[in-house]
Amino acid sequence: MSNQETRTDHLTIIPRNQHNVSRKSISEAALKVLYRLDKSGHRACLVGGGVRDLLLGKRPKDFDVATDATPEQIRELFRNSRIIGRRFRLVHIRFGREVIEVATFRGHSEESPRTELNTEGRILRDNTFGEIEDDAIRRDFTANALYYDISDFSVLDYANGLADIESRTLRMIGDATTRYQEDPVRMLRAVRFAAKLDFEIEESAANAIFDCGAQLTVIPVARLFDEIVKLFHSGNASRVFELLRHYRLLQYLMPQLDLWLQDSPDESMLDFIDQALVNTDIRVNNNQHVSPAFIFAVLLWPLVQQQAAKLQSDKTKPIAALTQAGSEVMAQQLKYISIPRRYSQMSRDIWSAQPRFQRTKGKYPLRLLGYPNFRAAYDFMCIQSMVGLAPKKMCEWWTDFQQQHKPAESHRRQPPRTREYRRKRGRHAS
Ligand code: ATP
Ligand code: MG
């Protein structure tokens, strides 16, 4: 911290020449929103992950804006905008594929009739507007509560977030237990940011997760799905998995998997999960397509196999047993996380393709090549072969076989990875 910085009661202002947040690294769309709000006489700041990641020298995933303009005023300024959300009213401003999320500064919740809490202290709805300093302390972690002010390009720090970024500490603003009670998803956000940013969760925020974990069961299953996808597509899924285990959160998200993990699981199956997650991380970091279906297929695979083995001992044929086991395990899982049907079906396709990779004679291989979601099933099989759960030769054989059938297949099975294609496919993928 230098002497040029101004410290008021709770605010530290870091002037432009004292930080590395540059307009060059901010998207044109975000700058347009900031400038137009500013010109119209409003306060306009970049906030959240955008500022945090730029300070860390990383490329932000998206840009969030905070302002004193109300949602209606924002709507009037931007034709390409719409108001979304009920719990928190926000405005989405669309520029082609990019969406800038603009939120009005939020005020004190407790005394406001516009904030609804349930009996456990969970925030159901909160649309009380306020000042920027109130807005800052309503955010989750100090590293997420920094503002980049477009009027003079300074960074505003109301929660000592800069020091925490420097020491790579994820610190909850306020009392961690209360903040988890208000919104239990903050526990999953803690895990995600700790993994993604390689931050240490500060002790009291970390300890409170052990006490508050069970509150995740009150979160609507659809919101949990979105959060789980964000966790496993964060580019650090392998670490996320470790942390979810460490904080004993899996029991509330994937109880079947949690039980299996407690029951001295098979090492090669654990290796498989880890390899598959590492593989997903590599794909995410290379901007390749990833699907939630693959993640669920991987994480539920030990249970599906276990259940299939049980059914087989009851005289069901192997392939039929696998299909039935897949449906049963998925049905159990859906009680905890609502996985949209297109993904749960794809996970089942990946599973039921696995025994079919053994048939390399006659008409079978070509038939499998035309199987729904062949490519994901093939990746899944090759990862199994890497850890000794399938023969090494099998992956090699199918790699060659695909090469030989590439011209016709690539035309039919591999749509070009255009932006439009990714946007449609990737809607839930990031
Ligand atoms: P990223 O976009 O990289 O995943 P982010 O920090 O920008 O990370 P968002 O979900 O985009 O996360 O939210 C933007 C900001 O809104 C956060 O940085 C934080 O300040 C605030 N925020 C989001 N969710 C919550 C929450 N559940 N509780 C409190 N503040 C939140
Ligand atoms: Mg963000």
Sign of CA dihedral 263, 268, 274, 277: negative
Please tell me the predicted confidence (pLDDT) of residue 31: 98
Query: Ligand 1 pocket, 62 CB below 6 A?
Result: yes
Query: What was the pLDDT predicted at 264?
Result: 77
Q: What is the mean pLDDT of residues 262-268?
A: 88
pLDDT of the residue at 415: 40
pLDDT, tens digit, for every residue of 196-230? 999 999 999 999 999 999 999 999 999 999 999 99
**Which atom, in ligand 1's list, is nearest to the CA of 234?**
4
pLDDT score, position 126: 67
3-state secondary structure the chain: CCCCCEECCCCEEECHHHCCCCHHHCCHHHHHHHHHHHHCCCCEEEECHHHHHHHCCCCCCCCEEEECCCHHHHHHHCCCEEEECCCCCEEEEEECCEEEEEEECECCCCCCCCEEECCCCCEEEECCECCHHHHHHHCCEHHHCEEEECCCCEEEECCCHHHHHHCCEECECCCHHHHHHHCCHHHHHHHHHHHHHCCEECHHHHHHHHHHHHHHHHCCHHHHHHHHHHHHCCCCHHHHHHHHHHCCCHHHHCHHHHHHHHCCCCHHHHHHHHHHHHHHHHHHHCCCCCCHHHHHHHHHHHHHHHHHHHHHHCCCCHHHHHHHHHHHHHHHHCCCCCCCHHHHHHHHHHHHHHHHHHCCCCCHHHHHHCCCCHHHHHHHHHHHHHCCCCCHHHHHHHHHHHHHCHHHHHHHHCCCCCHHHHHHHHHHCC
What CATH topology corresponds to 6-167? Beta Polymerase; domain 2 (3.30.460)
Look up 64 and say whether it is catalytic: yes
Give pLDDT tens digits for 356-370.
999 888 889 898 998
Q: Please give the CATH superfamily to which domain 237-411 belongs.
A: cca-adding enzyme, domain 2 (1.10.3090.10)
CB 357 within 8 A of CB 393: no
258 annotated active-site: no
> Domain spans of the chain?
6-167, 237-411
For residue 235, which of 186, 190, 290, 188 has the smallest C-alpha distance? 290
> Which band of pLDDT confidence, cut at 50, 70 and 90, is reported for residue 8?
very low
Predicted confidence band at 2 (pLDDT cuts at 50, 70, 90)? very low
Please give the average per-residue pLDDT across 66-77, as a whole number: 95
User: Residue 95 pairs with which residues in a beta bridge?
Assistant: 98
Residue 82 pairs in a beta bridge with 92
How do strand 81-84 and strand 200-201 relate by DSSP bridges?
Answer: unpaired
pLDDT at 6: 45
Average the pLDDT over 52-56 and give the result. 97
Catalytic residue among 38, 62, 134, 226: 62
Q: What is the DSSP string of 86-145?
A: SSS-EEEEEETTEEEEEEEPB--STT-TTEEE-TTS-EEEE--B--HHHHHHHSSBGGG-
> Which of 148, 197, 116 is CA-nearest to residue 27?
148
- C-alpha 156 – ligand 1 centre gap (Å): 17
Residues with Cβ–ion distance below 5 A, ligand 2: 48-49, 62, 64
Average pLDDT, the chain: 89
What digits encode the pLDDT tens for the residues 310-338?
998 878 888 899 999 999 999 999 999 99
Mean pLDDT of 58-62: 93
Work out the average pLDDT over 26-40.
97
Average pLDDT estimate for 64-69: 97
Q: Is the CB of 183 under 6 A from ligand 1?
A: yes
Of 425 and 18, the structure prediction assigns the larger pLDDT to: 18
Task: For ligand 1, say whether the CB of 64 is within 6 Å of any of its atoms.
Answer: yes
**Residue 82 confidence class, pLDDT cut points 50, 70, 90:** very high
Answer yes or no: are the C-beta atoms of 348 and 323 closer than 8 Å.
yes
- The per-residue pLDDT for range 142-201, each reduced to its tens digit, is 999 999 999 999 999 999 999 999 999 999 999 999 999 999 999 999 999 999 999 999
> What pLDDT does residue 115 have?
63
Give distance in angstroms: CA of 94 to centre of ligand 1.
Answer: 19
Greater pLDDT, 13 or 409: 13
Element (H, E) at 45: strand 44-47
pLDDT reported for residue 110:
56
What is the token pair recorded at 401?
């076989």
Indicate the pLDDT class of residue 430, thresholds 50, 70 and 90.
very low
pLDDT tens per residue, range 100-153: 999 999 987 555 555 667 777 776 666 678 899 999 999 999 999 999 999 999
- Give tens-digit pLDDT for 368-424: 998 889 999 999 999 999 999 999 999 999 999 988 887 554 444 444 344 444 454
What does the alpha-carbon distance between residue 194 and residue 190 come to, in Å, rounded to a whole number?
6
Instruction: Tell me, using a 6 A CB cutoff, whether residue 328 lines ligand 1.
Output: no
The reply to whether domains 6-167 and 237-411 share a CATH topology is no
Average pLDDT over residues 34-55: 97
**Interatomic CA distance for residues 228 and 185, integer angstroms:** 10
End-to-end CA distance of the chain: 35
- Where is 66: in which H helix or E strand? strand 64-67
Is 263 considered catalytic here? no
Which pTM does this prediction carry? 0.89
